[in-house]
Amino acid sequence: MAKLLTTLQHPDQLINRIQDGIVQVVNPLLKAWYDKFGIPGDCSGTLITQRVTLADDWIAPTLLNSWVNYGASFEAAGYRKTSGSVEIRGLVKDGTSGYVFTLPASYRPSAYAIIASMSNNAFCRLDVELSGNVLLTGYSSLFATIRIRFAPSDPSPVPNSIFPLTIAHGLTPGKHPTTVLLADAVDTVSLAHVSSSCSWKPYDDARVQIVDLPGLYATRTYDLTFLVLGG
C-alpha cells in the first residue's frame, strides 16, 4: 500500500498539534483513496507547516491636478487588488480639480462606483468611473478622504509580493512532488480557519514554490499547512 502522511517537527508545539490533528483526519481518507484507485506503493506524502505574513502591496498612483498626499502620519493615496476586490485609500489635499488619479485598466470597476466621503469635516462624494478616473465632487481642497472598495472588471488576481514562496517538500530523497494542496490556513490573530486554494510549481529536488494563495488578506499572518504528495 502507498505510504500515509508524516509530519515535520516544528519548534512551535501548537503547530505540531495542528499537524497531528490533520494527519488523524486525512490518513484514513488517503488509505481509502489509495485502495480504491490502486495508488502504487512508492507514493508518499507529508505535511509542511509555514508561518507567513502577506505584504502590504499598496501601489502609489500618479496624482493629478495638484493633488498631493496630506502627509505627516496620515495614509498616502494608494490602491491594490486583494481577495477579489480593488481597494483605494488615502488623505489628499490642494487639488484644483475633482479628478485625483486614474486607475490602470486591470483595477477599474465592473460598475460605476459611488460612496459618501469626507472633506474638511463635511460630506463630499467619491466616484470611480468605468474609465478608472477617481473623482471627488463637493470637496474642499484643504483635505479629502478617498476610501472605497469595489469589484474590478478584470477579476484576475494579483499575487501578493511574497510569492513565489519556496518551501521544502519534506518527501523522501528521490521522491518528486506530484500534488501540493493547502490543507489548512489559520489567521494567527483571530485563530479563524480561512478558505483558500493553492497554486504551485516544482523548484528543485528538495523544494517547491507556492505561486499564489487567493483568499488570504494582505498584511495578515497565517499558519499554513500544505499537504504534499509525491512518488
Q: What is the mean pLDDT of each run of 10 residues along the chain (231 residues)?
A: 51 65 62 53 71 92 97 94 88 96 96 96 96 96 96 86 89 84 90 88 92 84 89 72
State residue 169's pLDDT score.
Answer: 86
Beta strands in the chain (DSSP E): 5-7, 44-53, 68-69, 78-82, 85-89, 91-93, 99-102, 113-119, 122-128, 133-137, 144-145, 148-150, 165-168, 177-187, 199-202, 207-212, 221-230
Q: Could you give the domains of the chain?
A: 5-55+159-230 (no CATH), 68-150 (2.60.40.1830)
Q: Which residues pair with 207 in a beta bridge?
A: 168
Distance CA 79, CA 47 (A): 36
* Predicted pLDDT at 17: 67
Of 151, 180, 178, 152, nearest to 164 (Cα)? 180
d(CA 117, CA 203): 47
At residue 41, the pLDDT reads 47
Beta-bridged to residue 93, according to DSSP, are 68
Angle at 27 between CA 21 and CA 31, to 5 degrees: 170
- Predicted confidence at residue 184, as pLDDT, reads 87
Q: How high is the pLDDT of residue 2?
A: 46
Check if the beta carbon of residue 209 is closer than 8 Å to that of residue 24.
no
Question: Can you give the pLDDT at residue 146?
Answer: 97
What is the DSSP-derived secondary structure letter of residue 94?
-
- Scored b (16 or more CB within 10 A) or e, 114-139 reads eeebbbeeeebebbbbeebbbbbeeb
Residue type for position 201: K
How far, in Å, CA of 47 to CA of 121, rounded? 53
Residue 82, pLDDT score = 79
d(CA 205, CA 226): 17
